[in-house]
Structure 1
Amino acid sequence: MKGYTKPVLLIVIILLIDQVSKLWVKLNMTIGQEFKVLGDKFLIHFIENPGMAYGMEFGGEYGKLFLSVFRIIAVIGIGYGLHYMVKNKYNRGFILNVALIFAGALGNIIDSAFYGMIFSESTPYQKAVLFPEGGGYTTFLHGYVVDMLYFPLIDGTFPTWFPIWGGEEFKFFRPIFNVADSAISVGVFLILIFNNRYFKEEHQEKQSAHSEVAED
Structure 2
Amino acid sequence: MSLRNAYLLVLLVLVVDQVSKIYIKTNFILGEEVEVFSWFKIYFIENEGMAWGTRIPGEYGKLILTVFRLFAVAGIGYWLWDSVERRRSSNYLIVAIALIMAGAFGNILDSVFYGVTFDDSQQNVATLFSNKPYGTWFHGKVVDLFYFPIWQGNLPSWLPIWGGKEFTFFNAIFNVADVAISTGVGILLFFNKKAFHKYE
Please give the range of the TM-score, normalised by the shorter of the 2 chains. Answer: over 0.9
CA-based RMSD of the aligned residues comes to 1.3
**Match for residue 62 of structure 1?**
60
Alpha carbons 1:65, 1:141 under 8 Å: kept: yes
**Match for residue 181 of structure 1?**
178
| Per-residue deviation, residues 17-48 of structure 1 (Å, max 9, x unmatched) | 000000000011000000012x2211100000
1:76 paired to 2:86: no
**Match for residue 3 of structure 1?**
2
| Per-residue deviation, residues 89-122 of structure 1 (Å, max 9, x unmatched) | 1111111110000000000000000000011011
Count residues with an aligned counterpart: 199
**Match for residue 166 of structure 1?**
163
- Relative to the length of structure 1, the TM-score reads 0.88
**Match for residue 131 of structure 1?**
129
Q: Among 138, 142, 162, which residue is 1:145 paired with?
A: 142
1:120 paired to 2:119: yes
Unmatched runs of 5 consecutive residues or more in structure 1 = 207-216
| Per-residue deviation, residues 168-187 of structure 1 (Å, max 9, x unmatched) | 01000101000001100110
SS in 2 for 1:68: helix
Aligned letter for 2:163?
G
Alpha carbons 1:41, 1:152 under 8 Å: kept: yes
Aligned letter for 2:19?
V
- Relative to the length of structure 2, the TM-score reads 0.95
Structure-2 separation of matches of 1:191 and 1:181: 16
CA offset at residue 54 of structure 1? 4.2
SS in 1 for 2:10: helix
SS in 2 for 1:48: strand
CA offset at residue 161 of structure 1? 1.2
Structure-1 separation of matches of 2:147 and 2:60: 29
Structure-2 separation of matches of 1:144 and 1:121: 10
Name the CA shift for 1:69/1:184 in 2 (closer, same or farther; >3 Å). same
Alpha carbons 1:55, 1:177 under 8 Å: kept: no
| Per-residue deviation, residues 42-93 of structure 1 (Å, max 9, x unmatched) | 1100000113134333334311111101110100000011111110211111
SS in 1 for 2:134: coil
Among all aligned residue pairs of Structure 1 and Structure 2, give the percentage whose two residues are the same amino acid: 49
Structure-1 separation of matches of 2:157 and 2:124: 42
**Match for residue 50 of structure 1?**
48
Structure 1 runs of 4+ aligned residues shifted over 2 Å read: 53-61
SS in 2 for 1:103: helix
Alpha carbons 1:157, 1:168 under 8 Å: kept: yes
Alpha carbons 1:54, 1:181 under 8 Å: kept: no
Aligned letter for 1:130?
L
User: Which of the pair has more CA radius of gyration?
Assistant: 1
CA offset at residue 197 of structure 1? 2.4
The structure whose residues are more often helix, as a share, is 1
SS in 2 for 1:35: strand
Structure-2 separation of matches of 1:197 and 1:131: 45
Answer with 9-18 or 59-68: which moved more.
Answer: 59-68
Unmatched runs of 5 consecutive residues or more in structure 2 = none
Name the CA shift for 1:48/1:60 in 2 (closer, same or farther; >3 Å). farther
Aligned letter for 2:76?
I
SS in 2 for 1:171: strand
Aligned letter for 2:150?
L
